[in-house]
């Protein structure tokens, strides 16, 4: 029991000693904190201002301020030229209206220089149908030779004589075209077609003359 009391007393004493030492150090820190602090200050020589650099001259006007109007006008001109160039490049081609008699004669002259075979006869027949349809304002469409001959035979503008000659010519072309045996004597389809075009043009002129005469007679 005595040993236990002695050990307990020694332990308590140590704690007391530790507390006292801690309080001593804390008091020392507070004392040091209360002392005035002396900071190092700059000397009087360092407080003087450095010498200033001379001021810059007035800034010159920019390129936009000097030439802004010309730049805007030039830019608009370039845009306009580019738009015009694009329009000229990508614009749709305007097909020139060629008179039917001119187109027919031009193609028949080319066909006349070729050997007369089934392909040439077929093309001559097509040229004749296209010409009559355009010149006399016939109904457009894919018609057989029989249907086309029936249509031109009842047309008063074409007349019975010209309609009969054109129908006989188209039938002769079909007969030669589908014939299994080649004829020794060529038909001369391109020349006959050119002759029919001339007769058709004269027929159109004859129809226009009475109308012009009547118009002149009605004028005061």
Dihedral sign from CA coordinates of 192, 197, 203, 205: negative
Q: Which two tokens stand for residue 149?
A: 């001959």
Report long-range pairs for 117-126 (Cβ below 8 Å, ≥24 apart). 118/176, 118/177, 120/189, 120/190, 121/173, 121/176, 121/177, 121/187, 121/189, 122/173, 122/177, 124/173, 124/189, 124/190, 124/193, 125/170, 125/173, 125/174, 125/177, 125/189
Tell me, yes or no, if the pTM score tops 0.75. Answer: no
Residues of the chain with pLDDT under 70: 1-27, 31-47, 94-95, 179-185, 210-220
- Report d(CA 196, CA 108) in Å as an integer: 11
Specify the pLDDT at position 145.
Answer: 85
Specify the pLDDT at position 49.
Answer: 74
Q: How many CB atoms lie within 10 A of CB 177?
A: 17
Specify the pLDDT at position 60.
Answer: 82
pLDDT, tens digit, 9 for 90 and up, residues 61-113:
888 888 888 888 989 999 999 999 888 888 877 667 788 889 999 999 999 88
Residue pair 166/152 in contact by the 8 Å Cβ criterion: yes
Report long-range pairs for 93-98 (Cβ below 8 Å, ≥24 apart). none
Q: Which two tokens stand for residue 216?
A: 């002149």
- Report d(CA 10, CA 2) in Å as an integer: 12
Specify the pLDDT at position 201.
Answer: 92
% the chain with pLDDT above 70 = 70
Specify the pLDDT at position 198.
Answer: 93
């Amino acid at each position: 029991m005595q040993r236990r009391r002695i050990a307990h007393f020694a332990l308590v004493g140590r704690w007391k000693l530790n507390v006292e030492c801690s309080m001593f150090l804390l008091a020392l820190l507070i004392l040091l904190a209360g002392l005035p602090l002396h900071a190092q200050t700059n000397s009087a020589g360092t407080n003087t201002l450095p010498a200033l650099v001379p001021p810059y001259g007035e800034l010159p006007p920019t390129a936009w301020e000097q030439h802004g109007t010309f730049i805007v006008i030039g830019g608009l001109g370039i845009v306009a030229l580019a738009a015009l160039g694009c329009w000229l490049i990508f614009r749709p081609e305007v097909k020139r209206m060629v008179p039917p008699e001119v187109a027919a004669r031009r193609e028949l002259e080319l066909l006349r220089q070729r050997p007369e075979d089934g392909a040439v006869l077929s093309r001559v027949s097509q040229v004749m149908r296209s010409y009559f349809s355009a010149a006399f304002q016939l109904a457009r469409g894919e018609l057989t030779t029989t249907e086309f001959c029936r249509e031109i035979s009842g047309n008063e503008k074409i007349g019975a004589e010209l309609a009969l000659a054109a129908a006989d010519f188209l039938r002769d072309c079909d007969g030669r075209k589908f014939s299994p045996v080649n004829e020794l004597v060529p038909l001369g389809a391109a020349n006959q077609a050119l002759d029919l075009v001339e007769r058709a043009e004269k027929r159109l002129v004859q129809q226009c003359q009475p109308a012009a005469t009547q118009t002149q007679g009605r004028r005061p």
